[in-house]
Structure 1
């Protein structure tokens, strides 16, 4: 599975639960989803994090956004009014956002193409289907800046 197969340049309109934050992606993005079962993502989302990538230059955000630095290398953003989770982003990365697909109606049909920390997935959140999978050890061996995951 090559991620380039899923690169797209259409427009996506998204919003938080209360509508106070609106996000428009109008340009390059990946029309496919990756899932993460690490401890931080499970705590943040309640289950797992799913996301798709969009180039920063294609993104327009309106409304107040709160940011939380969840690690030494990344932030998570949410609506301070309703609490909807909006994105995960590497700090200092002006090239990409990882948006939660549920805030974009058009992302409904994006396929799942990858899943990481599969050895940390709870029984109720195991994902079926054909997609790339990586354990904690697999993922962290390729991302040496990741500090490790809780048991």
Structure 2
């Protein structure tokens, strides 16, 4: 399954993973996961869900880009993550977004925004809790980051937040 990335989401993925590994902090004790569809609400042209994570300010929101109201999300469709190489991808990478299925075959992507910088998306470095549940999203291309997708339950796609890009 290939996922088109919006320009806003791609712009948020600028920090190199190799330099980020030096500053990684230990994983949070209780892990995290994408919000339950019932927690996602539509307000001011965006889908949002508040969250508490053990990184940066400790609180923030999963938020979509501006878009029309297509009702409540039906279920979590996938979670997108990228790692620099197969050797490091199972231990650390960047969580890109949580994708939810909507009525009429539409989807909405939610990315994490910290409450200290709510207008600026920053890379959320994580470790997948169940690396075997994540599959390559596209065939690997030498010299590029590798994207992985998890299409199981939110619990199966859970992750340990490591840190937020500075």
Under a length normalisation based on structure 1, what TM-score does the superposition of the two structures give? Answer: 0.28
Which structure has greater helix proportion? Answer: 1
Q: Which structure's relative contact order is higher, taking Cα pairs within 8 Å and 6+ residues apart?
A: 2
Q: TM-score, normalised by structure 2?
A: 0.27
